[in-house]
Structure 1
Amino acid sequence: MTRVSSHSAPQFAAARAVWQNLGLPGLIDVHTHFMPPNVLRKVRNHFDALGGLWPLTYRGNEDECLALLRGFGVRHFTALSYPHRPDMAAWLNGWAGGFADRTPDCLRSATFYPEPDAHDYVSAALQAGARVFKAHLQVGGYDPRDPLLSDVWGTLADSGTPVVVHCGSGPEPGRFTGPGPFAEVLGEHPRLTAVIAHAGAPEYTAFLDLAERYDRVHLDTTMVFTDFAEARAPFPSDALPRLADLHDRVLLGTDFPNIPYHYPEQLHALAGLGLSPDWLRAVLHGNAARLFGL
């Protein structure tokens, strides 16, 4: 059994107090990252190169990060990874499949990139039991409307498999970020089960529009409402009633372990919104439990 630092005990207590006070069995976090070690190392190097703008709080190895999540009370989570070039996604999917096989509380995760064999390896991942996909338009730098992805989106829509899509322009805009390109994908595939990462930051209201227009579009809370995010891309206070109305389609996400603060801060930020206990119960557990049949 992997041991974690005694310094983690206060964090465990702070996280558990939130969901225990709501009478929940724990948390479901739909936006966490487990990757091949060489890929994770490059991700950490990227954040380190920012010169302290995004100091990583958690730097443990795979087993240590798993122990932390479980210590917080996370019952199910994801292993989201994302390619930035061709001939990478199928390899990432193979690694993620092996990770899920040895980590039963992880939702089997997969990804894709616009390339000729994308539909084939996405179909193979689905047949192998993939339950969630990740698309990162900023890091990948690709157009979600690329014809090479048309059958991918269609297959995922038909299967009802959720796709966590980073399509907002935060933290830095990309060529195909912002609501416009992905809105066109939804127009072509209106039954796609999409989870908009970071609630679409910083274009929150535009992505709320999409969630209200398409009943299979969800939002995840990744980093939203934390002090770190509010200083850079504050959520408009007048949009909170709209978020409350989407009580059944907002999901807990955190970006763990690649976050510049302690994990409980995300939970406290959501609890501090002053929305109803039923809303918070749904966000922290119920909505994801229903979406993934947990």
Structure 2
Amino acid sequence: MPGTTSEDVTPHGEQADEVRSFWRRLGLPGLVDVHTHFMPERVLHKVWDYFDTSGPLIGGVEWPISYRCGEAERTAVLREFGVRAFTAMLYPHKPGMARWLNGWAADFARRTPDCLHTATLYPEPGVETYVREAVEAGARVFKAHIQVGAYDPADELLQQAWGLLAEARIPVVIHCGSGPAPGKHTGPEPIARVLARHPRLRLVVAHLGMPEYEEFLGLAERYDQVRLDTTMTFTDFAEDLMPFPRRALPRLAGLGDRVLLGSDFPNIPYPYVHQLHALERLDLGPEWLRAVCHDNAASLFGL
């Protein structure tokens, strides 16, 4: 299987020791992970069922879930790892889901103080209304998933919502790259059209825009509010499937103040610590690692 490592059989307790050792070596108070998934249990179980089938949206590859456990245990694992703040990345795949998901996420944030209150959206009538409601309820980050939702992010139905989020300066973690499998509206061009209309929108491009890494680095270089998260990138699993071009590492280093740690926990086919080791072995230096693993997100969210 792609990405198999000796870390795969490490128990959670030993993993926690390794994760804590990692951030302590850097002199950090912990980690901030901007790309973790919490959603209603029946929805998450459907997501896991899809991963179990190696479906086309994940490129047809074998993808075991490393942290397949209940909500309380998953939260406890992140706390054991020393993750100071995390998100509840959730997303609709059809109209009528987003408002309901936002209600669930608001409740989860109320009972989980270390989770950044997360919300989502979908191109449908009324989207601006429920986005405004989520913002007024205290949402601190939004999630958009262009591949699963199969919609054009530049859809006219979304324009007022994007404008509202840009004005509110609320980051949007957006899966818009064409990995692990392309969608009708994935890739840099649709997002470039959104940014042309909303240049102050705080987009956080998930997975560094995998596999169109260099194109999305270009958008971040052009728009100073665009950021990128590291989710799954540089791991053995991702490098086997969609390797990051080493010629682009200096550009990634140059954007060190706008790269954020993301993991995709719990939906990862390897231990959490492997993502951290993958970033460390880039050899971009402790200052870059400190910024990526904690300081950039702490600044963005005022932690």
1:120 aligns with 2:97: no
What CA distance in whole angstroms lies between the structure 2 residues aligned with 1:169 and 1:123? 29
What CA distance in whole angstroms lies between the structure 2 residues aligned with 1:135 and 1:197? 10
- The residue type equivalent to 2:199 in the other structure is P
- The residue type equivalent to 1:31 in the other structure is H
Match of 1:224 in 2: 233
1:153 aligns with 2:162: yes
1:38 aligns with 2:47: no
Q: CA deviation at 1:64?
A: 0.5
CA shift digits 1:192-227 (9 cap, x unpaired): 000000000000000000000000000000000000
Q: Structure 1 residue runs of 4+, over 2 Å off?
A: none
Residue 31 (structure 2) aligned to one of 15, 24, 27: 27
Please show how residues 73-112 of structure 1 align to structure 2 within 5 Å. 73-112=82-121
What CA distance in whole angstroms lies between the structure 1 residues aligned with 2:144 and 2:88? 13
Residue 215 (structure 2) aligned to one of 206, 223, 228: 206
Please show how residues 56-67 of structure 1 align to structure 2 within 5 Å. 56-67=65-76
CA shift digits 1:98-119 (9 cap, x unpaired): 0000000000000000011100
Q: CA deviation at 1:14?
A: 1.0
Gaps of 5+ in 1: 1-5
Q: Secondary structure at the residue paired with 1:273?
A: coil
What CA distance in whole angstroms lies between the structure 2 residues aligned with 1:19 and 1:240? 22
Match of 1:47 in 2: 51
1:267 aligns with 2:267: no
Larger deviation, residues 11-20 vs 97-106: 11-20
Match of 1:3 in 2: none
Larger deviation, residues 279-288 vs 47-56: 47-56
CA shift digits 1:205-250 (9 cap, x unpaired): 0000000000000000000000000000100001000000001000
What CA distance in whole angstroms lies between the structure 1 residues aligned with 2:61 and 2:75? 25
CA shift digits 1:156-213 (9 cap, x unpaired): 0111100001000001100000000011000110000000000000000000000000
Residue 18 (structure 1) aligned to one of 22, 29, 32: 22
Q: Secondary structure at the residue paired with 2:204?
A: strand
TM-score between the two structures when normalised by the length of structure 2: 0.94
Q: CA deviation at 1:52?
A: 6.6
Match of 2:12 in 1: 8
Match of 1:163 in 2: 172
1:237 aligns with 2:241: no
Match of 1:68 in 2: 77
Which structure has more relative contact order (CA 8 Å, sep 6+)? It is 2
Q: Secondary structure at the residue paired with 2:93?
A: coil
Q: Secondary structure at the residue paired with 2:13?
A: helix
RMSD: 0.9
What CA distance in whole angstroms lies between the structure 2 residues aligned with 1:236 and 1:18? 25
What CA distance in whole angstroms lies between the structure 2 residues aligned with 1:52 and 1:146? 31
Match of 1:258 in 2: 267
Q: CA deviation at 1:278?
A: 0.5
TM-score between the two structures when normalised by the length of structure 1: 0.97
Gaps of 5+ in 2: 1-9, 55-59
Q: Secondary structure at the residue paired with 1:231?
A: helix
Q: CA deviation at 1:94?
A: 0.2
Identical counterparts, % of pairs: 64
Q: CA deviation at 1:7?
A: 2.6
Tell me the number of residue pairs that the alignment of Structure 1 and Structure 2 aligns.
289
Q: CA deviation at 1:260?
A: 0.3
Larger deviation, residues 98-107 vs 11-20: 11-20
Q: Secondary structure at the residue paired with 2:292?
A: helix
Q: CA deviation at 1:124?
A: 0.2
